[in-house]
Structure formats: C-alpha cells, structure tokens
Homo-oligomer: A and B are copies of this chain.
Amino acid sequence: MSFSWTNPIPIAYKKLLQMEHPEQLLPGFSMHYRGRLNAPKGKSDAEKDDLPEFEPFKGAVPRGPQDYNSLTLMKLDLHKNENTMAHRTNSFKHDNLIIRRGQKFIMTLTFNRTYNLNTDTAMLEFVMGKNSLSGKATYVIVLLGPKCPISDQTCKWVVEVKMTGDTMTVGITPSADCIVGQYHIFLTVLVNPSGKKRTDLNTDIYVLFNAWCPEDEVFLSDENQRKEYVLNDQGIIFNGETDNVASRPWNFGQYKPGVLDACFYVLNKSGILLDDRKSVILVTRRTSAMVNALDDNGVLVGNWSGVYTMGTSPSAWTGSAEILLQYSNSGTPVSYAQCWVYAGVLNTILRCLGVPCRVVTNYNSSHDSNGNLTIDIFVDEDGTMNRTHTNDSMWNYHCWNEAYMRRPDMTLDSKYWGWQVVDATPQETSNGFYQCGPTSVKAIKEGDLCYPYDARFVFAEVNSDVVFKMVDRNGQWTTVQKNTTYVGKKILTKAVGSNVAESIMNNYKYEEGSPSDVAVMERATSFGCARDRSLHQETDVDIELMAPSVQLGQHFYLTLGIKNKSLEQRTVQLTVTCSVIYYTGVNFSSFKEERKTVSLGPSMTKNLIIEILANEYMDHMVDQGSLKFICVGKVQENNQVLAAGQVVRMEVPILSLKLDGEVRVGHEMSVTVEFTNIFNMVLEHVHLRMEGPGEMGFKKKYYEYIAPGASLTWTESFVPERPGEGTVVGSLDCPKLRQVYGKLEFYSQP
C-alpha cells in the first residue's frame, strides 16, 4: 500500500523540496497542508515577519535605492507618557507603548529634511506575526500625507498629519475592531522610480480592547465600572456557604512586570488565529479553554483530591501573577487549581487585554448535570444515602467569570448584550472540550438557551431542582421530596469601588415561583433540558435541620425540628447521617449516624438536639471543611417519607497582618503576620505567603511543624511603588488546615 523511500522520489515531491513557503514545514503547519492553504495562517504575534529592506517595483529594474535627496528618519518619539495616560495604560510597567484600539495616539517623526506633502510619499506599516500580508488585518498601512486615497482595507486606521519644519506629528486612531496584540512598526518611503525603502522602527505597540470607546464591542459606559472591571488589580472572591458567606482577597496583579506578556503568551499558545483576535467573543472562549490545562496544555492543573504535595495547594495562592509568570516561564501547566483559582486567573487575563471582567460566585451550584435540570439524591429504604446511585454533584459554591461585551452573533437587536458567563473550570461536558461560554446572562434569565455557547449548562448550574428519591428493593425509585429553591441560592460579586458583596441574583433569575419564573423554566425545558416531572406526595410532618455557625475544632449542637401538621398522633423514625464533604459537595466520608424514633401529638412540634464532638469530625476534615447532614424519616402511621439536608461550613481562624511604621512610595514598609495554632492537633508542612500590589513582590515561608497552642510571627518588608490605596494579602496553608487568609489595607503617601 505504501512503498519505501528507496524508490525514485516522485516529481511532485521534488517540487515540494523547492517550495516558496518553507515555513509550511514548521510545526503547526504540516507539509500535508501545502495544497490546502496558500500560506499558514498567523497564530502568534510574537513571531516577526521579515519584510525586505528594499522592495523594487514590478517591472522597474532594481538598481538599489536612489538615495539622493531621499527621506530618512532621524528621530522617533512615541510620547509614551501622554499616550499611556490618555489610554489609561500607565499602570503597566512596560518598555513598549501600550494603547487601546479605537482611540487616537500620537507619535512624532523627525526627518533629515522637510517632508514635502506633494512630492514625498511615506507610510507607516503595522505588522503582526508571520505572513502578515496574507492575513486580513495583520498588515495595516497608514499613509502619511493628505493625498492618502480612500482605500478599502479590511481594517481602517485614521491618520492626521501635522508638519512643523522637519518634524511631523502623526495622530493615528486604530480601528475599533482591529486585532488585539503586538504590532511591529516600519516606516516605508517610496523611492521613485525604483521601489520602496523600508526602515524598521524596532518597536512594537501593544493594542488592547477599549471599554472607553463606544465603537469597541467591549464598550462600557459607566466610568466607575470601567475603573473596577478593567483597571482594578485587586479583588475579593466570595466562597463559604449560602448561610455563611466567606470571602478571600485575590491579587489580580495585571500590572506586575511580565504579566501582560504572559497573557499574550497564553493567547499565542492557544493557537487562536490572529485574525480572530479582533473578536472578544472568540478570544474569551479560547481563553476559557486555555486557563485549564486539559486538552491544550493550558495554564492550570485542577486538583480536588486534598493532596497537593506535588504542587501548590489551590488555597495557598494569593493572586494570579505568580501563576501566570510561572506558566509563561516554564511553558508547562501550573499545579494546582480549583474554581476560584481558574476564575482569578481568567479575570487577570481578560482585564489585562482590556475586557471588562469580574469574578462571580454561585452558591449551591449544580454541576456535571449534562445541562439537565435535576440533581438526584438517592436514599435507601432505611433512610441512609445511596452513594452508588447518587452521582450528580452540587457545589457549596462555584466561581466563574462574567465578561462584558456585545453579542451581534446572537440576536439582531441588543437584548442579550452585556455580561456574559465565561467559565475556565474544566467541566465534564462542553461539546467534549473543556471550555465554557461566553453565554449571555440575560439569555439565561429568559431561558433562551438556543444561542452559543453552553447556555444550557450554565442555566442548569443556577436553576436545577434537588430531588430526593427512594430506591426500593427492586431498584425502582420514587420521588419523596423536591427542592426547587436550593440551587443557585445566592449569586454574588464584589461591588464596584468597595469590598462588600453585591447580589446579582436578579440578573440570572426571576423571583422563584413568579409567573415569569415558571414561564422561563418551561421555555428552558422546551429547549431540551430534561427536568424531573415526577410528583411527590405532600407529607403531613415537616422536618428541618438547623446548625449554628461553627468554629473548626469546636464541638457543637445540631438541631432537628420536627413538626406534625396533622390533627392525629404521628410516630416518626428518623436517620441522621453526618458526613464530611468537599466544597464540591462530594462525600468524603460519613463519620456519624443517629437513629431516633419520635412521637408527636396533633399539631405538635419537637426539637431534637444532636451533639457533634470535635474529635468525631476533625480527623476527617478535607480542604474547606464542610459538613453535610442528611435526615430521612418515615411516618409509621402512613409510610410517608420525609427528607431534609443541611451543609455546615466550619469557620477557620483568620491570619492577622500588622503594619509597622509609615507607608511612603519608594520607602520600605514592614508587615508582620501573626498566627496561633488554637487546635489541639499538630499542624504539619505549613506554607505561608504574602503578596503586595503592583511591583511589590511575593514572599514565602515554610514551617515543618506548629505545635498545639504555639504561635508564629513572620515579618517581611515591601516597597510600595505607587501612591494611594493598596493591599497586602497573606495566606496560610497546610494539609490539616486550609483557606486561612488575612489582608492589610494601607495608604501610601507620594
């Protein structure tokens, strides 16, 4: 079928060896594609096109440039300060000029002589990647001078030219839909009659999305929101549990040295076409795939096992910068992440690129549901949870991102423009690939799940019903209880300009049970989301589980309320199962089971108190220390089945950070971390971190061992490099105790 190479090589192959595009043999463009494309499409703005220094006109005999009286560039001024101030990119500490598209920037060119607008023709070429000429918008020409003809280039950049003597001041406005990334700049002068003389200006400009530009698809009208969602490099990520919301500081750190380049590195590694980088829709979708390591060697390796010895524990990170820098330096995925780490890093990348973006937290988030609207919890006839059947997982909380953009691809009108869900945490289901979104929050609210991307999945995360099912001996099951309000109980994000939580629940849902809500659920199911339609009998006894807020390591009391709504005697057999769960809702191990029989007179209410001792659960704790209690009961008189569930999050101690001395730009400030092991267990392998804003660095410390009752103090010094408010974030992490954070807000004098 195939023959060996000893045979004479066929003529076509000989041709191939003299091909014009040898780069077609480079990785990413296999030889097999030769007949498929004229030239490989650009996928990296880091690669450079080597345009010739002299390009003879066709027909003209190339005698080399006639330099007599020809125009030469003496001096170039990019006006970095004015431009970056005007473009709000001055916080980036970067050698290159960073601007935003759709907005004018200026540069000054000084020539060897006066530029004659009538006889001279010079142009600036903005070039991105390899084979830039064959790309749709990777090669932009800007003609200098008034006689610039109207050209129908795919991507128009507006030019203004002002001559004063030998200096020309050029104002250039990149089109509001140009490619986001690095452009290399050439100055090209026409040397008649022979050809073009090209001067490499040896500089790249970085062009970002522009939330300040009304024509840009990421335009956001409110200045405070733009400051928060694009410019703010510090944030708060909410976690914990619905009835006990906690929060952690997160340092997005987009201004730290190297982070912007790391973000472009991620884009280049993602293989998204340069031509596609004008579209915020495609950029956010690809980034959501790249932030997780799966199927594309992306940024972060997920780990939910509780064992992080081969990397950094997800809860140990204090911000995104360290992760992105480690990734761009090593080129290999960073260990480890859970949802808030994915969300924090994606937020940094998108804010870096200029896309308004925020981290949101959904409480009781339904997962792995294949876009179906039911979470099944199976219980056996004896009231214990059936763990083989129960596989739908519900997370105490789940973090994802919202990015702000237009969605012309969805509807003709703008009704679904605005915030879009993008989720970088790898799910089991998204067309077989680990990416999710962007999907319009407004469309989720309306149950319009027919639009790209992954709308059904996100809808299920906030709208599923929790259904308790009892399995009989034949393996048949019947629904005993249904809870339609448990999932998506709260949806929070950091408020604009402050650290408090803002509820954005109303963006995602109508009020539970309201006519619109009912209509939306119907609509969603008609788009193919399977929903549990089974009915369950109304019971005449109610049960409820109540727990106080609990300090990790303390014993506490769980209250089980039983209410007989009937007018007859009722006897109830109850089973309470106590388990330790991951924040993903997955059961780690059950440590206690209580069986009680209670009899109640007509309309009587009783409270059962169950004591939970510290040593019953401490040995089993994982990660973010949550306990789950499930109570199932049976009414003897009528065989009615009762069910109730409650998750209790254990509060962990806070890390205290103290400031010594005054804070002034350029001067050392010293921060002290204090922590006491209040538990009667040894804390082993303790990792401590501190991170400051902007260019302030990361500090780490490792303790083998902290004895019960022992305290530690650790002092580090930082040098603030910009005036105004700032935050130092600290974390403590060890296998037995995670999610310990603290932060210190300071104001540094100029």
A130 proximity list for chain B (CB < 8 A):
none
User: Pick the contact of A475 from B141, B303, B370, B700 — CB < 8 Å?
Assistant: B141
A388 proximity list for chain B (CB < 8 A):
39, 133-134
Considering the complex, give the chain B residue whose CB is closest to the CB of A36: B304
* B309–A5 CB distance below 8 A: yes
Considering the complex, give the chain B residue whose CB is closest to the CB of A581: B35
Within 8 A of B (CB), among A117-170: 121, 123, 125, 131, 133-136, 141, 143, 149, 151-154
Determine if A540 is an interface residue (Cβ-Cβ < 8 Å).
no
* B587–A382 CB distance below 8 A: no
* B302–A527 CB distance below 8 A: no
The answer to whether A305 and B687 touch (CB under 8 A), given A412-B526, A476-B151, A587-B38, is no
* B473–A38 CB distance below 8 A: no
> How far is A431 from B229 in the complex, measured between Cα atoms in Å?
26
> How far is A582 from B588 in the complex, measured between Cα atoms in Å?
60
Interface-centre pick from A136, A431, A523 (highest chain B CB count, 10 A): A431
* B336–A32 CB distance below 8 A: yes
Number of copies: 2
User: Pick the contact of A309 from B10, B412, B526 — CB < 8 Å?
Assistant: B10
Determine if A3 is an interface residue (Cβ-Cβ < 8 Å).
yes
Determine if A739 is an interface residue (Cβ-Cβ < 8 Å).
no
Q: What's the nearest-Cβ distance from chain B to residue A239, in Å?
A: 15
* A370–B276 CB distance below 8 A: yes
> How far is A408 from B619 in the complex, measured between Cα atoms in Å?
49
User: Pick the contact of A450 from B275, B304, B428, B451 — CB < 8 Å?
Assistant: B451
Determine if A27 is an interface residue (Cβ-Cβ < 8 Å).
no
Within 8 A of B (CB), among A357-390: 368, 370, 372, 380-382, 384, 387-390
Chain A interface, number of residues (Cβ within 8 angstroms): 129
> How far is A432 from B700 in the complex, measured between Cα atoms in Å?
38
The answer to whether A409 and B12 touch (CB under 8 A), given A32-B305, A303-B32, is no
Q: What's the nearest-Cβ distance from chain B to residue A52, in Å?
A: 11
A141 proximity list for chain B (CB < 8 A):
474-476
Determine if A61 is an interface residue (Cβ-Cβ < 8 Å).
no
Determine if A285 is an interface residue (Cβ-Cβ < 8 Å).
yes
Determine if A301 is an interface residue (Cβ-Cβ < 8 Å).
yes
A3 proximity list for chain B (CB < 8 A):
309, 685, 702
* A35–B143 CB distance below 8 A: no
> How far is A429 from B286 in the complex, measured between Cα atoms in Å?
12
> How far is A532 from B302 in the complex, measured between Cα atoms in Å?
45
Considering the complex, give the chain B residue whose CB is closest to the CB of A143: B474
Q: What's the nearest-Cβ distance from chain B to residue A279, in Å?
A: 8
Determine if A107 is an interface residue (Cβ-Cβ < 8 Å).
no
A286 proximity list for chain B (CB < 8 A):
431-432
Q: What's the nearest-Cβ distance from chain B to residue A558, in Å?
A: 24
* B409–A527 CB distance below 8 A: yes
Segment touching B, from A199-207, A240-248, A265-273? A265-273
Determine if A452 is an interface residue (Cβ-Cβ < 8 Å).
yes
> How far is A2 from B526 in the complex, measured between Cα atoms in Å?
50
* A289–B432 CB distance below 8 A: yes
Considering the complex, give the chain B residue whose CB is closest to the CB of A389: B133
Interface-centre pick from A11, A35, A151, A336 (highest chain B CB count, 10 A): A35
Can you name 28 A-B pairs with beta carbons within 8 Å?
A1-B700, A2-B312, A8-B684, A10-B684, A10-B736, A11-B736, A13-B306, A31-B305, A35-B622, A36-B302, A36-B584, A38-B387, A38-B391, A38-B393, A58-B384, A123-B475, A131-B391, A133-B389, A134-B388, A136-B370, A151-B478, A271-B432, A272-B432, A273-B428, A276-B429, A409-B450, A431-B433, A431-B453
With A36-B304, A38-B387, A276-B429 given, name 14 new contacts (CB 8 A).
Answer: A10-B735, A10-B736, A13-B307, A13-B309, A31-B307, A32-B305, A33-B304, A35-B304, A35-B305, A35-B622, A36-B584, A41-B368, A134-B389, A273-B429
